[in-house]
Amino acid sequence: MLIRLHIQNLAIAENVCVSLTHGLNIITGETGAGKSLLVDGLALLRGNKADVGLIRDGNESASVTGTFKLPASSNVWGQLEAHGCLKDEDAPDEVTLRRVLNRSGKHRSYLNDTQISARVMQEVASELIDISSQFENQKLLNPETHTFYLDEFVETTDVRESFQQSWQNAWTLVGEIERLEKELALQRREQDLCQFELDQIDQADLRDDEWSRVQRVVALGQKTAQAARHTSELKQMISDAETSCMSQLSMCRRSIERLLKLSASQQIPLGLEKIDEISAHFEELLQQVDATEDAFSIDEQELQECLARSEIYNTVLQKFGPNLENVRAHRERCIQTLSLNDALREQILQKKTMLTAAIRTSLELSRGLSTRRRSGLSALSSAVQKALAELGMPQARFLCELQRGSTQSVPRHVGSETVENIPAEDLEAFLQLSRNGAERAQFLMSANAGLAPQPIERVASGGELSRTMLAIKSILFEDGAVSVFVFDEIDTGISGSIASKVGRKMAEFCAHRQALCITHLAQVACFANCHFIATKNLKKGKTVAEIKVASTEERIHALAGMVAGERVTRESLAQAKALLNEAQGVLNS
């Protein structure tokens, strides 16, 4: 039960604090007086989106605090413990929810003064607050909501949640398998390259000792080639060329000999011994060149083999090097990549096995869900129709039917390569399932005799929607199922005797429950266990809302004003007293 609601700096509510009672708490007042502020505050506590525009002018923050008194059996105690929130030692049977709005947008939520996330706030508040407003009533126009109400009626929420978990798990596995299959395809292309590179490395048969010998032999071969070129050049210059040194010396010697013959008895300084001496030196140099050339000799076959191996080594090193250690490391990476193929394929097989189990479980649960739903169709239809008759719609016919599929289902496809060991008919049946199962509920209604029931979204007026929602909630929710029910102008579109019947139904609904109801109808307000009146006043030039409990006299005047309008007359006061006395008689019976 909500025992206290405190609102600060929210719109025109500067500092509003109301204490609620068990049963029906009614709020009345002029339009714009702040009646809906309590609903807005409770909506914020439920985790609804916060609008910083609601923060009162001149303030940087606003807050809403709700204090609830709960039985020991409430689920909230478990949530309190799960989220590390302590009980209030001074009030161990109470729980406090608080929401703080900041203009900066950094809003905060608290459970018993422990800060919690918005998700946790919504989770806890769903156990404490149920809001029915004109907007909420519009949910009846959405057939997907009908399925939820049917499941609540046949008490199959646990089966539905298990099904939804299994169904969602199956589709999650489908996505994971498809992702892994794509990854495997990419990996196969990568592995083809790795296999090619691994084969290239292995065929090269690279060895450290051989690479050292090949480098040594190739280097020696390069030196031998260079030495042969240099010795050849020396031989050419010394003796082999036409203009070689030896040829030039020979020409010099012949010229000197001719001069000596011509000299006769004359002495000339030229002598052949110098030329012979120089020739001898060149002969010795030529021998040394030959000896040097022999020193650079190499096995030509070995050189050619090493040159061929060197080309192989250099090709592999250029791709995977720069050294043999790098090549070996790349080879290990290729082996690892090739081994991943098996691991990924095994992972896919495991996922497919899990998917098979999830599909079978989903089908089994959906069949059980369908059976439970079919079993409650007639009872729900009769119960709602009876409640509608009590709400002034005796001619109304209400039916709940099951239809295949979902209005919000998205066509999905599962490739044959994704699912294994699943019969085609089972796979087809699974693909027809939606989040709500194999079917959806559809509410049909006819408010007038002689007309066939049609989908409620086509034929129901605003007032009929309000009464239908009240009828459904009076049937679905057990006593104490939710701490406080909030009805925001549930009397929309009704008046007169119908309003009296709605008020009576509200009173019956609240016999073992607590509700907070905003109304403009005296026929509803007179059934209140506690009547609040909302007014607005000027305070320092600003509008301020005030919500207080009405005394008996104030209550009579408020009811009279709702009956007669702005001008309260003796007749309207008498009518208000009569309404109040009649309602109190019902409440006390």
Burial 516-547 (b: 16+ CB within 10 A, else e): bbbbbbbbbbbbbbbbbbbebeeeeeeebbbb
Of 33 and 400, the one with more pLDDT: 400
Backbone angles phi, psi at 169, to 5 degrees: -65, -40
CB within 8 Å of 309: residues ≥ 6 apart: 210, 214
Instruction: Give the pLDDT of residue 108.
Output: 93
Instruction: Give the pLDDT of residue 134.
Output: 59
Angle between helices 143-153 and 157-204 (to 10 degrees): 110
- State the average pLDDT over residues 215-220: 84
**% the chain with pLDDT above 70:** 93
Cα 78 to Cα 163: distance, rounded to the nearest angstrom: 24
State the first-to-last Cα distance of the chain, in angstroms, to the nearest integer. 23
Of the residues 286, 301, 322, the one at which a domain ends: 322
pLDDT in tens, 375-384: 999 999 999 9
Residue 322 preceded by cis peptide, ω within 30? yes
Work out the pLDDT band at 413, boundaries 50, 70, 90: low
In-domain check, residue 210: yes
**% the chain with pLDDT above 90:** 22
Beta strands 23-29 and 530-539: pairing type? parallel
DSSP codes, 26-63: EEEE-TTSSTHHHHHHHHHHTTPPP-GGGBPTT-SEEE
Domains identified in the chain, total number: 2
Cα 469 to Cα 393: distance, rounded to the nearest angstrom: 13
Instruction: Give the pLDDT of residue 416.
Output: 60
pLDDT in tens, 422-451: 788 888 889 889 888 999 999 998 888 778
In-domain check, residue 555: yes
| pLDDT over 60 at 250, yes or no | yes
For all residues of the chain together, what is the average pLDDT? Answer: 85
Comparing 42-46, 259-263, 418-422, which segment has the lowest mean pLDDT? Answer: 418-422
In-domain check, residue 343: no
Q: Tokens 């949530």 appear where?
A: 79
pLDDT in tens, 512-570: 888 898 888 898 999 999 999 999 888 888 888 899 999 999 999 999 988 887 688 88
Instruction: Give the pLDDT of residue 162.
Output: 93
Instruction: Give the pLDDT of residue 405.
Output: 66
- 16 and 116 both lie in a single domain: yes
In-domain check, residue 160: no
Instruction: Give the pLDDT of residue 396.
Output: 86
- 91 and 209 both lie in a single domain: no
Cα 197 to Cα 77: distance, rounded to the nearest angstrom: 64
Work out the pLDDT band at 8, boundaries 50, 70, 90: very high
Of the residues 298, 322, 346, the one at which a domain ends: 322
Instruction: Give the pLDDT of residue 290.
Output: 80
CA distances from 564 to 493, 522, 525, 575 (A): 18, 10, 14, 9
Both structure tokens of 391: 């709400």
- State the average pLDDT over residues 51-63: 90
In-domain check, residue 506: yes
- 5 and 114 both lie in a single domain: yes
Instruction: Give the pLDDT of residue 265.
Output: 61
Instruction: Give the pLDDT of residue 510.
Output: 85
pLDDT in tens, 315-330: 888 999 888 889 889 9
CA distances from 46 to 85, 157, 200, 341 (A): 18, 21, 67, 50
pLDDT in tens, 144-168: 788 888 988 888 888 999 999 999 9
pLDDT in tens, 162-202: 999 999 999 999 989 988 888 888 878 887 888 888 888 88
Which residues are registered as beta bridge partners of 536? 545
| pLDDT over 60 at 479, yes or no | no
Closest residue by Cα to residue 434 from 147, 153, 173:
147
CB within 8 Å of 231: residues ≥ 6 apart: 289, 290, 292, 293
Both structure tokens of 225: 């080639």
DSSP codes, 55-90: BPTT-SEEEEEEEEE--TT-THHHHHHHTTPPP-TT
Residue 312 DSSP SS3:
helix
- State the average pLDDT over residues 262-287: 80
Task: Give me the amino acid identity at 508.
Answer: E
Comparing 365-379, 478-492, 550-564, which segment has the lowest mean pLDDT? Answer: 478-492
Residue 92 DSSP SS3:
coil
| pLDDT over 50 at 409, yes or no | no
In-domain check, residue 388: no
Give, for 420, the enclosing helix (H) or strand (E): none
In-domain check, residue 280: yes
- State the average pLDDT over residues 300-314: 87
- Give start and end residues of each alpha helix (H) in 296-323: 300-320
**From edge to edge, which strands make up the β-sheet containing 114-116?**
13-19, 2-10, 61-69, 94-102, 108-111, 114-116
CB within 8 Å of 418: residues ≥ 6 apart: 174, 177, 178, 181, 352, 355
Instruction: Give the pLDDT of residue 481.
Output: 60
Instruction: Give the pLDDT of residue 341.
Output: 66
For the CA atoms of 211, 214, 216, 217, the dihedral, rounded to the nearest 10 degrees, stands at 170
| CATH number of the domain bearing residue 87 | 3.40.50.300
**From edge to edge, which strands make up the β-sheet containing 530-539?**
129-132, 484-488, 514-518, 23-29, 530-539, 542-549
Comparing 80-89, 258-267, 304-313, 445-454, which segment has the lowest mean pLDDT? Answer: 258-267
Closest residue by Cα to residue 483 from 36, 137, 74, 98:
74
- 114 and 1 both lie in a single domain: yes
Q: Tokens 């439970």 appear where?
A: 372
CA distances from 13 to 34, 36, 38, 309, 351 (A): 7, 11, 9, 92, 56
Q: Are 403 and 109 in contact, with CB atoms under 8 Å apart?
A: no
Instruction: Give the pLDDT of residue 10.
Output: 92
Of the residues 322, 348, 379, the one at which a domain ends: 322
- 209 and 92 both lie in a single domain: no
Residue 115 DSSP SS3:
strand
| pLDDT over 60 at 103, yes or no | yes
Task: Give me the amino acid identity at 46.
Answer: R
Comparing 108-122, 369-383, 501-515, which segment has the lowest mean pLDDT? Answer: 501-515
Angle between helices 245-263 and 272-295 (to 10 degrees): 170
Domain extent at residue 307 = 204-322
CA distances from 164 to 152, 158, 335, 358 (A): 15, 10, 43, 11
Closest residue by Cα to residue 223 from 305, 323, 292, 289:
292
Its pTM stands at: 0.64
In-domain check, residue 410: no
Cα 372 to Cα 158: distance, rounded to the nearest angstrom: 12
Cα 515 to Cα 367: distance, rounded to the nearest angstrom: 37
| pLDDT over 60 at 407, yes or no | no
Cα 428 to Cα 247: distance, rounded to the nearest angstrom: 105
Cα 362 to Cα 162: distance, rounded to the nearest angstrom: 9
Cα 132 to Cα 466: distance, rounded to the nearest angstrom: 9
- 1 and 114 both lie in a single domain: yes
